[in-house]
Amino acid sequence: MARIFITGSSDGLGLMAGQRLAREGHDVVLHARNTDRGEVARRALPNAAQIVIGDVVTIAGMRSVAEQANAIGRFDAVIHNVGIGYREARRLETRDGLSHLFAINVLAPYVLTALMERPGRLVYLSSGMHPGGVPDMDDLQWTRRRWSGSQAYAETKFLDVLLAFGMARRWPAVRSNALEPGWVPTRMGGPGAPDDMAAAPVTQAWLAVGDDPATRVTGRYFYHQREKSPEPSTRRVGLQEALLDRCATLSGVPLP
């Protein structure tokens, strides 16, 4: 059985993926931003192997989560599920001077990828909105542009695909893939979301532990366990490298 770490898994799709994996007999380590959310997660999944506590809105919090995860041991797979949605009415800034949305949705997955012991598989959650989010690489923090919450969110999900593909290229021995779970009625998606909630956590769990040929790939994009073509420019090596370089500079964490 595998050991899997799922970020942002005190509720929503992260928790649902964890519950699915635990039912299959895998050792699941959850993550919550604070102890209260950790207790919620523990009640929802009593047989979770452990729960890591830390708020990845700050670089210090990201580092703490990585340290706690490394203390548990090497993971067979890490599901980078942590994220916030598109409803921020204005640009919020973190203690580190970064866009709140970018810090959680993009920089946290990068820092954890860089600092955690290298797993066998990396799974990054993107969104069906990502094709509309081809970013301004010179203004990833939205300091010059007029804020648009939906556009900023779409950009972060585009960048998550870049991160997945960049890691697939940099670390060929690791299976690194991205997926969209569908627009489902989670707290993030909203009650009117039309997609299938039951199917939403399946693909990330499947990519984390599946042993069928369809999962023995890297640098691919999925929707409901089927490969799907991502926005074509996510394949551009120059964009992948630009993101990795910017994340390293912003976080002070180089990619091994």
Active site residue 228: no
Lowest mean pLDDT among 37-41, 161-165, 195-199, 206-210: 195-199
Active site residue 153: yes
The string of DSSP codes covering 142-192 is -SSSPP-HHHHHHHHHHHHHHHHHHHHHH-TTSEEEEEE--S-SSTTT-TT
Q: Is the pLDDT of residue 189 over 80?
A: no
User: Which is the catalytic residue, given 110, 153, 221, 223?
Assistant: 153
pLDDT in tens, 38-62: 999 999 999 999 999 999 999 999 9
pLDDT at residue 148 in the model: 95
pLDDT at residue 86 in the model: 79
Q: Is the pLDDT of residue 198 over 90?
A: no
Q: Is the pLDDT of residue 193 over 70?
A: no
Enter the DSSP assignment of 30.
Answer: E
* d(C-alpha 7, C-alpha 215), whole Å: 21
Task: Supply the pTM of this predicted model.
Answer: 0.95
Nearest to 69 by CA among 121, 20, 30: 30
User: Which is the catalytic residue, given 157, 221, 223, 228?
Assistant: 157
* Mean pLDDT taken over the chain: 94
